[in-house]
Amino acid sequence: MDIKGFFRKALAKTQAVIREAFGETIPEAVLTELEDRLILSDAGPRTASRIIQEIRARKPQSPEDVRAHLKTSLLELLPKDGSPRFCPAPPTVWFLLGTNGSGKTTTAAKLAAHYRRENLRTALVAADTFRAAAIDQLRLWSERAGAELFAMQEGSHPSAVIFDAMSDKKIKSCDLILVDTAGRLHTKTSLLEELAKMAKSCEKSAPGTLVERLLVLDGTAGQNTLAQARIFHEALSLTGLIVTKLDASSKAGFLLSIGSDLKDVPVKWVAMGESLDDIAPFDPAAFVEGLVGETPA
Ligand SMILES: Nc1nc2c(ncn2[C@@H]2O[C@H](COP(=O)(O)OP(=O)(O)OP(=O)(O)O)[C@@H](O)[C@H]2O)c(=O)[nH]1
Ligand SMILES: [Mg+2]
């Protein structure tokens, strides 16, 4: 599937919400309806109002003008540079962080498979030692994705897992090492502290390799994820976001307000399903086409 097709499919539910506005015939009526529809898709009232004001200032003459100006405004709002970071020499380490059930483990596997297809040697590190099932789940994914696996037993200290993984010859010789972390420990505060310790452990055993701290956000939670993102960013200096489950969400509009909320943390990837190839790099133009839909001929 090409990138446009991917975003069209991922955003089908949200597009159905936005599209309704274009049933109106008078531009002003389209704008009024569109503002409501943007809010319904979880863009947030402030972002929705800003978009509508921008379009109105461009004096649209028809619903199709509104659609065209909407695309321009959205493109300006969306984060631009979402290219993933790699170290000049391997290995590169990425941490996948996030709350319980947001899609970290599945996404780690998808990324491993994605780069495996590009002929990189990839490894998955099971730093979620909270429950045994998490390690088994990652082992299964590593086999499907053709990635190496590093795991210790349930209950091991996550920082120790990272330290040992980064000292392991087979893992160290990989190009990309994806670290799957826990979404819950006993309290939220201790989770963030633990994750910060893990980053330190990685820095100690393999200085300079940890270049991405990616927060995995559940796309079905819409605006609710933004508060989460701020907390994680404060504690861990995130480098990027990954939005999952877009296929199951009609609230993808929340991505429009991420830029104003978290200016220096771009969306880098989006995921839309449970199989290995259901992931794509974030593409602002394809996102806008997917959200607003094509101009009818
Ligand atoms: N529809 C859909 N489901 C997804 C997607 N990504 C993950 N899931 C599902 O969401 C559930 C949780 O995914 P996990 O990858 O286990 O999430 P996690 O963040 O590792 O969860 P914990 O380890 O428990 O914190 C699973 O049932 C996945 O199959 C996606 O993009 N779309
Ligand atoms: Mg997990």
Angle at CA of residue 206, ends 270 and 135, nearest 5°: 55
Q: Which residue's CA is minimally distant from atom 13 of ligand 1?
A: 103
Place of tokens 């391997």: 90
133 CA distance to ligand 2 middle (Å): 9
What is the per-residue pLDDT across 109-141, written as a single tens digit (0 to 9) for each? 999 999 999 999 999 999 999 888 899 999 999
101 CA distance to ligand 1 middle (Å): 5
Q: Which residues of 232-255 are buried (b: 16+ CB within 10 A; e: fewer)?
A: bbebbebbbbbbbbbbebbbbbbb
Contact assessment for residue 158 and residue 123, using Cβ atoms and an 8 Å cutoff: no
Nearest ligand 1 atom to alpha carbon 101: 21
What is the per-residue pLDDT across 16-75, written as a single tens digit (0 to 9) for each? 999 999 988 999 999 999 999 999 999 999 999 999 999 999 999 999 999 999 999 999
186: pLDDT strictly greater than 60: no
Local confidence band at 273 (pLDDT 50, 70, 90 cut-offs): very high
Question: Per the structure block, which two tokens stand in for 251?
Answer: 């609230």
Contact assessment for residue 19 and residue 293, using Cβ atoms and an 8 Å cutoff: yes
Contact 268 CB / ligand 1 (< 6 Å) = no
For the chain, domains (ranges, CATH) are: 3-77 (1.20.120.140), 92-281 (3.40.50.300)
Rounded CA-CA distance 240/266 in Å is: 5
Q: Which residue's CA is minimally distant from atom 26 of ligand 1?
A: 103
The radius of gyration of the chain's CA atoms, rounded to the nearest angstrom, is 20
Task: Name the pTM for this structure.
Answer: 0.95
